[in-house]
Structure 1
Amino acid sequence: MPPLPFARLTLLTLASLSVPNALADEPVQLDPLHVSGVRMSEEHVAREDLEKLPGASNLVNMKQVEQGRVAGTADVLAYQPGVYAQSPGNEGVKISVRGSGINRGPGSHASGTHIMLDGLPLTGSGGTPYELLEPLWISRAEVLRGANGFDRGSLALGSAIDYITHTGYTAPKLQLRYETGSHGYQKRNIASGQVLGDFDYYLALTDSHTDGYQDQASGKGKGIAANFGYRLNENLETRFYLRYRETAHETPGRLTKAQLKDDPRQAAANNLLIDAHRDQPGSTWLANKTTWQIDDDSTLVAGLAYHHYPMDITETFYRSGAYRIRVDYSDISGTLNYTRRHTLFGLNSVTTLGLRSTTNLPSSKSKETVALPITVTPVAGTPVTYPAGTLMRDYEHLGSDNVLHFSNDTELMPDLWLTSGLALIYTRREAEVTWPATDDRLSEHTWDYAPRLGLRYQLNPDVQLFGNISRSIEPPHAWSMLWSSPLRFSSTITEPYAARQRAAISLDNQTATTFEVGGRGDSALGQWELTYYYSQVLHELLTVEIEPSVFAESNASPTVHQGIEAGLTSLLWQGGAAGALILRQAYTFSDFHYRDDDTFGDNRLPGLPRHYYQAEVRYDHPSGFYAGLNTQYASKVAVDYANSYYADAYATFGATLGYASPKDDWQAWLDLRNLTDKRYAATVTPGYDDKGADIARSTPGEGFGVYTGVSWSWL
C-alpha cells in the first residue's frame, strides 16, 4: 500500500478522433487508443519532490549500496556531497552536514541533524541514538541539507535525514542475505514483504557480530523491524511501525598519533584495564502514520511515535577504577501536516501547515555508580576505597521540542517558484542532580522563530538554479547541562562523586543564519550538483574532552560555517551490449572557524577535514557483472581548539567485484577496503589546548579488509 501522494497515475483515452481528409469528403475514423499509465516508483516520486526544494539534497538508492558491505550508516551515506560520515569501528557513526554537531559523537547522543524514520521523529531532546538505524531495513535515505528539511519540522543547522523503511510494495516476498569478512565480521538478514489486497506488510530480522579492527572493539547486535499498512478506502490509509534492537560493543579508546602509526590495532591502556563497553540493552520505536486524501488537492498526514532507548555504559577510567552510567530515555512524538494545492492571486501555489512535538517522558532518569573499586586519597588522611555499586550521582534530564511551521510555494512565472516559510519554536529543558545534591532543578523555556525564503528556477529542461536564506535553531541536550560544569575534584574531599557535576548549568540555544545558492542538472559531463553556503552561527554548542571520556559542552563565541558541496556522475564510456563505465564523485569543502574569539582569534574549529573527496569508477555489464575502484581523501584535521596539533591527511583505496542478476533475484559480491592498509585517524575527539603535544585523541580507521556476501530474493 503506497502512500497516497505516490499514487500518481496517468490515463489517456482517445475514444475517437475525426480528422478532415483533404483527399476525401468523409472524415477518417481512427480506432480507439488507450494508454494506461504505470504508477511511478516511490523513489522516482521522492526524487521529484526533492527537486522542488530551493536548496541541496541527497537521495540514496539502497539497491546500489547493497552491492557491497552494509555494516552501518557510514556505508549508506558514502559518496554523498555535503555529508561527512565516518565510523570509529563500531555502529556509532559520526555524521556531520555543514559542520552540524561538529564535535559531538560518534556516540549515543549524536546531534546537529534531525533524524527521522519514515517521516516521523527519531531525534529527541536526548539526541539521536544509533542502534535502530539498521541500513538493511530501509529502501532509501533522503538527506535534506541545511534548512531544506523545513517542511518536515527540522530546524537543525545541518539537515534532516529521513530513513525510509521497506514496505510490502518495495520488498520481495522473501529475501535472505549473508555478509562475512575480516575482523570476525558477520551479518545475517531475513526479510519478507507482500501486498495482500488492501493490506501489506514488511518484516525483517537481522543480527551481526564483529571482533573489531582494534583490540577491545568487539560488537554485536540483533533486532526486528516491521510495518503493516492498510487502505481503509481509496482516500484513507494507515501504517503501523515497529523497530526493536539490542546492541553491545566494547570501546577501545583513542590513540596518540605515534601509537596510531606504530600499531593502530592496539587499544588504550585504561580501556583495557576497565573493560570499557557500551550496551544498548533493548531500544524500541513504535509508531503510526495515517494519510487522508481529503480531495484531489488536499492531504492530511498524522503521525505518533513512542521511543524508548536505555544505555549501560562503562567507559571512563577514574582514580584507578571506573564508573558505570545507566541512562534511560523515553519520549513520545507527534506530527501533523496539512498540504493543499491551490491558486494565490491567480498563481499556482502549494501551502503546507505542520506541527512537530517531541517530549521526554518522566521516566527519563540516569545514575552513575562505581564500576571498578575507586580509591581516593586526601592530602592528609587515610586512603578510602569505594566498592563497585557505590552510588556516585543520580540525575534527571527532561525536555521537549515543539515546532509549528508554515510554508508556501508559489509559481511567480513559468518555471520560477518562490518558497517562503515561518516556524515558531518552543523548547524546554529541565535537569536536576538528585544525588548527592537536591533542590537544584534547572528549568529553561525558550520561544524562538525561524523564517525561510527561497527561489528555484528551471533555466531549461536540464538545469535548475536555486537559492535560499534561512534561520536554524538547535537547543542543547538536557544531558549536556549535567556534564558541562568546570568544577573539578578537590583533594580534600574523599567522596567518589567529588569530581562529578552537582548542579545543572544553563546553556543557550544555538542559532544560525544561512545563505545558500546552487544548481543541479544534466550536461555533457553528466549529472551534476553544486552548492555554496555561508552560515553565521551564534552560541554554537561545542564539545571538548576535558579528561579521557569526560566531556564538557558550552556555547562558543560567534563562528562561521561556510563551504562548497559538489557532486558529479559521468558516463565515461558506453559500449551497448559491452556495458558502460561510470564515474561518480563527491567533494565537500568545509571552512568552519571562530569570528575574532578572545582566545582563539579566527582559529579553525577542530574535528572535521577542510577537504573531503570520494570517488568510484565502475564498470557495469548488461549480464549483471560489475567491478569498481574507489578512493577517499581527507585533509588534515585540527585536534584541539588552539590548532596546536593536527591529525594527518590520508587517502584510502578500495575495490568491488560482483554479480547482480538482471532479474534482481540474487547477487554476490566481494568488497575490498583500504587496499594499501593505510594507517589514519577516522575521527578525532578534540581537546581545548594541547600545546602542541601528541595527546590520545584519534580513533583509527579500519585497515585492509576483505568482505563478501550473497543475497537471494523470491520476487
Structure 2
Amino acid sequence: MQSKQRFKNIPFNSSLLCLSACICQNLYAETDEQAVTAIPPIIAEATRTDTSYMQTPASVYRVDAAKQQNNIDVNLTEVIKGIPSLQINNRENYAQDLQISMRGFGARSTFGVRGLRLYVDGIPATMPDGQGQTSNIDLSSLDHIEVLTGPFSSLYGNSSGGTILTSTKEGQGRDSITMNYAGGSNQRNHVGLVLQGGSNNQYDPAYVVSSSYFDTDGYRDHSAAHKVLNNAKLTWNLDDGSKINWITNYVNISAQDPGGLTRSDWQANPKQVVKNVLDYNARKEIEQIQTGVTWDKPLDDQNDLYAMAYMGQRSVTQYQSIPKISQVTNPLTEKTKPYQAGGVIDFDRQYYGADLRWTGKDLLPNTKLSAGLALDAMTEDRKGFNSFAGDTLGIKGATRRDEDNTLWNIDPYVQASWNFLPTWTLDAGLRYSNVHFKTEDHYIVGLNGDNSGKTNYDKVLPSAALSWQILPELLAYASYAKGFETPTFTEMSYAAVGSDAANAFNLSPASSDTYELGLKSSNRLGDFTLAVFDIKTKNDIVAASSEGGRSTYRNADKTERKGAEFTWNKNLWRDLFAQASYSYLDAKFDADIQADGTVEKIPAGNYIPGIAKNQAYLGLTWKPEQGLYAGVDARYADKIYVNDINSDSAPSYTIFSANLGYAWALKDWKFNTYARVDNLFDKNYIGSVIVNESNKRYFEPAEGRNFSAGVSVTKQF
C-alpha cells in the first residue's frame, strides 16, 4: 500500500494533458451512401499501391478517430477492436506494455511487442532489432490507424509478421485549445491539453501539440503506474506541392509490476500478487524521446520523392522479482551461476534511421514503380545488477553485466504495380533485409569470460499479389510473400534455464512463407472481406522459459499457422453503423523440439501457446456529428494455451461494453461528455498469459466490471 501511495502522490507537474479525439471502433467502409455523396475513396497507405481499401489485394484495415471521445485514451485496446487475427491483450500491467500478435506472430512476447512493425507518422516505433512498444502512441491526437496482417507486411523488412501504422492529426482551420479530463475505476485519472491550428502561409506550419498525464492505482495489488506523454506535429504544405512533417514525442512511465499468478491463486483472488514481487518491489521506469521528419516531393506529374529521417533515445531500468538465491546459484545443481546477470536490468539506447524512396507512375504503360533504401541503427549500453545488497532487497547491488551492443541494417527494396489488363493487376515487391549484431563485453570476472561476439542475418524477401476485379463491387486476389525475423537483443541476452551458454548468439532467424487467397465486396448489403491463409515457418523463435520476470528463447524447427478471416461493416441507417468480424487461427508446432536443459521436449502437433484459435467481434454504434451518441459491442476469444506442452490454458470468454455520450457546439465552443462501462457483466477472465512461466504463474487477470467518464471542452480563436 505504501508503494501505491507513492505513485498516487507524484506531483502533477509534467503536464496537464490529454485531448479531444479518441478512436472509434469501426473499420473504414466505402458504403453506397458515401458514394452518393461523392466522397472520394480513401487510399490504403500501408501497401503503397494507391488503391482504396476494397481494391487492395491484401488484408489491410483502417480504424478512424472517433468524432467524439468515448474512452479514457490510454491503451490501444480501447481503440483497435474487431480486426480479425489481431490479438491485443491488456495485461493490466503498465510495466510490460500490451501483448500484441497478428496471425500468431508476436504471441511469445512477455513484454513489449515482437515480430511486428509499428510506425507513428511514418517514424518507426519498432527498434532496429525488432523490439517495439506502443507507449509513445498518442491516442489523444490520433487521426487513424492502419493494420496490415497479410503477406504485404514483408515490404517492411525484419520482424514484419504484421504492421500497424498510426497517423496523428494535422492542424486545420482556426487555432483552438482542447482541455479534457477522464476518470474511472481503480483511481484512473487522465488529463490533457491539445493546441492546434492550420496555416494559410507555406512558411508557417500547421500544428498539433498535445500533452497528457495518466495515473492509476491499478486493478491488481502492486500495479500502480503513472505516465507522461507529450507529442507535437508541425506540417508545412509548400507551394511547390511538397509536404514536410516534423514529429517530436516524449514519454515517461513509472510502473509497478504485479507479475503472474498460478491458476489456483487467480481463482482465489485475481487481484493478489506473490510475495517475492513485493519483497523485491518489482517495477520498471521508462523514458524515451524521439524526433523525426518526413518529406514528400512531387518532381513532376510522373515522379515523386519521399524521405524520412529519425533519431531517439530510450532508457529502461527494471527491477525483477528473481529470488536472491537464484541470482547466485543454480537451485537444481547448487553450482554458482557466473552468467546470471542479476535481478536489475538497466540499459540506454540511442537509435536513428532514414528511408529514401522514389516513385514513378506510367513510365511504362499502366505501371507504378518504387525503389528505396532504408537505414536503421542502434547502440545500447546494457548493464545488469543484483537486486539486493546484503539483506536489503529491491535495490541495485553488485554489477553482474556490462556490455555495449550495436546493430545496423541497410535494406534496399523495389515495388511495382502493373495493371496489365483492364480488370487484372499484378503487384510485386523485393526487399533485401540484412541485420548486423555486435556485442562488446566489459564484464569479464572469474568464470564469466569474454562473451563478446557478432553475427549477421540476411534474407531476400520477395512478394507478389495477383488481383482480378471480377465486378465493380467484387475483387479476388492471391498473394505470396517470404518473411524474416531476427531475435532481438533482449532475446539474445539470456541463456535458457539449465544451459551454460553465455549468450544466445546461437539463436537463428525465423523465415516464413505466407500464402493468402482473398475476396472483397462492397455492395448495398455492406462491405465484406474474406481471406484464407497458410504460413509455414522455419526456425520460429519461441519462448523457452520465463522465470522471475526473465524470459529465454529457442528455435522451433517448423511451425504452421493457417486460418481464415471475415469482416463485415455497414452504415445501417443515418448515423447507425454495424461492424462484425471472425477469425480462425490454427497455429501448431510442425516438428518435434528436443529438450534443452530443464526445458521439456515439445511434440509435433502441439498448439503454439499464447494464441486464441477463434475470435469474434460485433459492434453497433450511433455516431452523429452532434447530439446523443452511443455504442455497444461484444468480443469473444477462445482459450489460450499457456505453454508448449499444452498442459494448461486460459479459458475462453465473452465480454461486453457500452458507452453513452453527448456532444454539442455553441458558437466558438464545443463540448463533449461521455460515460462507459467495460466488462459489463463482470466476467472473471484472463487478459493475457506469460508463456512458459517456470513457476506456473502463467495468468495475468483482466479487470472486472469497470467504469470511466470524461468531459472535454474546445475553444476556437
- TM-score in same-fold range (> 0.5): yes
Match of 2:134 in 1: 130
The amino acid across from 2:375 in the alignment is S
Which of 352, 357, 381 lines up with 2:375 in the alignment?
357
Cα distance between partner residues in 2 of 1:385 and 1:272: 10
- Aligned counterpart, 2:318: 313
Task: Call closer, same or farther: CA 1:65–1:276 in 2, change over 3 Å.
Answer: farther
Match of 1:81 in 2: 84
**1:696 maps to which residue?**
697
Residue range with higher mean Cα deviation, 61-70 or 212-221:
61-70
Q: Which residue of 2 aligns with 1:583?
A: 578
Q: 1:150 to 1:174 in 2, by over 3 A?
A: farther
In structure 1, distance between residues paired with 2:385 and 2:458: 36
Q: What is the CA–CA distance in structure 2 between the aligned matches of 1:661 and 1:83, rounded to whole Å? A: 35
**How big is the shift at 1:205?**
0.8
* Distance in 2 between residues matched to 1:96 and 1:178, nearest whole Å: 31
- Secondary structure of the residue aligned to 1:317 is coil
The 3-state SS of whatever aligns with 1:665 is strand
Structure 2 residue matching 1:515: 3-state secondary structure: strand
Cα distance in 1 for residues equivalent to 2:670 and 2:394 = 60
Distance 2:402 2:705 in 1: 44
- Structure 1 pair 326–72 and aligned structure 2 pair: CA distance change class (3 A): same
Following superposition, the deviation at residue 581 of structure 1 comes to 4.2
Contact 2:352 2:377 in 1 (8 A): yes
Which stretch has the larger CA shift, 315-324 or 403-412? Answer: 315-324
Q: CA deviation at 1:66?
A: 3.3
1:56-82 deviations in Å (ceiling 9; x for gaps): 111110125833332211222222223
Q: TM-score, with normalisation over the residues of structure 1?
A: 0.84
Identity %: 20
**Structure with higher RCO (Cα < 8 A, 6+ apart):** 2
Matches within 5 A, 1:3-14: none
Q: Is the 8 A contact 1:415 1:458 kept in 2?
A: yes
CA contact (8 A) 1:122 1:307 kept: no
Contact 1:82–1:566 (CA under 8 A) maintained in structure 2: no
The answer to whether the 8 A contact 2:154-2:461 is kept is no
Q: Give the AA of the match of 2:705.
A: F
On the 8 A contact 1:147/1:154 being kept in 2, the answer is no
Specify the alignment match of 2:21 in structure 1: none
Deviation at 1:713, TM superposition (A): 2.5
| Contact 2:323–2:548 under 8 Å retained in 1 | no
Report the Cα distance in structure 2 between the residues aligned to 1:520 and 1:41, rounded to whole angstroms: 15
- Residues 158 and 433 of structure 2 are in contact (CA less than 8 Å); yes or no, is this contact kept in structure 1? no
Structure 1 residues 433, 374: closer, same or farther in 2, change over 3 A?
A: farther
Q: Secondary structure at the match of 2:346?
A: strand
Structure 2 residue 435 is matched with structure 1 residue 413: no
Tell me the distance in 2 between the aligned counterparts of 1:525 and 1:369: 61
User: Is residue 2:349 matched to residue 1:329?
Assistant: yes
Mapped to 2, the partners of 1:166 and 1:620 lie a distance apart of 20
* CA deviation map 1:217-253 (0-9, x unaligned): 0111112111222244323332221101101111111
The corresponding residue for 1:592 is: 587
**Preserved CA contact (<8 Å) 2:198 2:206:** yes
Sort the Cα spacing of 1:580 and 1:60 in 2 relative to 1 into closer, same or farther, 3 A.
Answer: closer
Q: Does 1:521 align with 2:496?
A: no
- After TM superposition, give the deviation of residue 434 of structure 1 in Å: 2.6
Task: Tell me the CA shift for residue 523 of structure 1.
Answer: 3.5
Specify the alignment match of 1:606 in structure 2: 609
2:569 aligns to what? 569
What's the secondary structure of 2:140's corresponding residue?
helix
Indicate conservation of the 8 Å contact 1:538/1:559, yes or no.
yes
Residue equivalent to 1:289: 294
Q: Which amino acid aligns with 2:463?
A: R
Q: Distance in 1 between matches of 2:627 and 2:394?
A: 63
SS of 1:128's equivalent in the other structure is coil
Displacement, 1:128?
A: 0.9
Please state whether the residue corresponding to 1:557 is helix, strand or coil. strand
In the alignment, is the contact (CA less than 8 A) between 1:335 and 1:354 conserved in 2? Answer: yes
TM-fit CA distance, 1:686: 1.7
Match of 1:453 in 2: 464
Determine the structure 2 residue equivalent to 1:18.
none
Residue 23 of structure 1 corresponds to none
Residues 628-657 of structure 1 deviation map (CA, whole Å, 9 limit, x = unaligned)? 322111111111101111111111122111
In the alignment, structure 1 residue 104 sits paired with structure 2 residue 109: yes
| Matched letter for residue 458 of structure 1 | Q
Question: 2:596 — aligned with what?
Answer: none
| Equivalent position to 1:93, from 76, 93, 98 | 98
Structure 1 residue aligned with 2:552: 552
Q: Which amino acid aligns with 1:642?
A: I
Aligned to 1:6: none
Other-structure match for 1:422? 430
Give the conservation status (yes or no) of the 8 Å contact 1:260–1:679: no
1:255 and 2:261 matched: yes
Q: Larger deviation: 190-199 or 319-328?
A: 319-328
* Cα deviation digits, residues 559-598 of structure 1 (max 9, x gap): 00112122112455x3xxxx55433112221111011325
- Using the TM superposition, name which of 175-184 and 123-132 deviates more: 123-132
Change (3 A) 1:549 1:592: same
Of 621-630 and 414-423, deviating more is 621-630
Give the alignment's TM-score, normalised by structure 2.
0.84
- Are 1:371 and 2:387 counterparts? yes
Q: Relative to 1, partners in 2 of residues 1:40 and 1:283: Cα closer, same or farther, differing over 3 Å?
A: farther
Q: 2 CA distance for matches of 1:440 and 1:85?
A: 36
Q: Which amino acid aligns with 1:427?
A: V
Cα-to-partner distance string for 1:76-116 (whole Å, 9 max, x where unaligned): 222222311111013411111111112113x24x2111111
Q: Is the alpha carbon distance of 1:360 and 1:656 closer, same or farther for their aligned partners in structure 2, counting shifts above 3 Å?
A: same
Alignment partner of 2:186 out of 168, 171, 183: 183
CA 1:622/1:394 → structure 2, altered by over 3 Å: closer, same or farther?
A: closer
Q: Does 1:483 align with 2:494?
A: yes
What secondary structure is seen at the aligned counterpart in 2 of 1:259? helix
Report if aligned partners of 2:530, 2:565 keep a CA contact under 8 Å in 1: yes
Q: Aligned to 1:268, which of 267, 274, 279?
A: 274
- Contact 2:229–2:251 under 8 Å retained in 1: yes
Cα distance change on mapping 1:628 and 1:121 into 2, 3 Å:
closer
Change (3 A) 1:65 1:684: farther
1:162 lines up with 2:165 in the alignment: yes
Q: Is the 8 A contact 1:147 1:156 kept in 2?
A: no
Residues 667-682 of structure 1 correspond to what in structure 2 (within 5 A)? 667-682=672-687
* Corresponding letter in the other structure for 2:437: R
Q: Check whether the contact 2:409–2:435 (CA below 8 A) recurs between aligned residues.
A: yes
- C-alpha RMSD of matched pairs (Å): 2.7
Distance 1:169 1:622 in 2: 17
- Give secondary structure in 1 for the equivalent of 2:299: strand
Contact 2:173 2:198 in 1 (8 A): no
Quickly say closer, same or farther: Cα 1:708–1:385, change in 2 above 3 A: closer
Distance 1:677 1:426 in 2: 48
Q: Confirm whether residue 654 of structure 1 aligns to residue 638 of structure 2.
A: no
User: Map of 1:393-408 to 2, 5 A cutoff?
Assistant: 393-408=401-416
Higher alpha-carbon deviation: 591-600 or 44-53: 44-53
